[in-house]
Amino acid sequence: MSTGAVAGPDGRLRCPWGLSTEDYIAYHDEEWGRPVHGDDALFERLCLEAFQSGLSWITILRRREGFRAAFAGFSIPAVARFTEADAARLLADEGIIRNRAKIEATLANARVLAGWQAGELDTLIWSFAPDRANRPAPKTLADVPAVTDASTALSKALKKRGLRFIGPTTAYALMQACGLVDDHLADCVARRG
């Protein structure tokens, strides 16, 4: 597989990973790398990236609506009120990834975040966005890191504040997905310039 941008079915150049399925094309073109703000929206991404750990992203992407239904649209206050009965319900829900540790981390993280001020998660996460001027556009997939100093620092900051299941690699995936960094390849149609 090529590591540079590849022409899609419409002839436009895209990151190679974004061409394997129609689901990926839409996610790549319309969502990945676009700025995401708002505590609940960032909580959703944080949770989905944690659930993705050890799995392919397409598995999570195709179950996203199931996750949203199961976790009350990722409303932090709503998820923070989930009970042991809710945890048992989630472990039986075939529409999501039924991993006890990830489910428990999601509920625990919601409880922690429910004690934060409105906008605090957004402000904290975005405070780790690196200066775009100091980040050249990657030309190939080999130029895209899995972990950076900023993602390591973000992971540490979130853990220090009580959040779980957010290591440096997951933190970097979050940064990519939420637009803190733009890792679309230099020739990719979705690159923001």
Q: Active-site residue 27, yes or no?
A: yes
Q: Active-site residue 57, yes or no?
A: yes
- The answer to the question of whether 178 is labelled as a binding residue is no
In sequence order, the 6+-apart residues with CB closer than 8 A to the CB of 10 are none
- The answer to the question of whether 47 is labelled as a binding residue is no
* Cβ atoms 6, 180 nearer than 8 A: no
Other Cβ atoms closer than 10 A to 52 = 19
Q: Residue 1, class by beta-carbon neighbours within 10 Å (0-12 exposed, 13-18 middle, 19+ buried)?
A: exposed
In sequence order, the 6+-apart residues with CB closer than 8 A to the CB of 54 are none
Q: Please pick, among 17, 57, 116, 126, the residue that the annotation labels catalytic.
A: 57
Q: Please pick, among 24, 32, 44, 49, the residue that the annotation labels catalytic.
A: 49
- The answer to the question of whether 184 is labelled as a binding residue is yes
Q: Please pick, among 24, 27, 32, 172, the residue that the annotation labels catalytic.
A: 27
- In three-state secondary structure terms, 14 is strand
Residues with active-site annotation: 27, 49, 57
Annotated binding site: 15, 28, 184, 188
Annotated binding site for Zn(2+): 15, 28, 184, 188
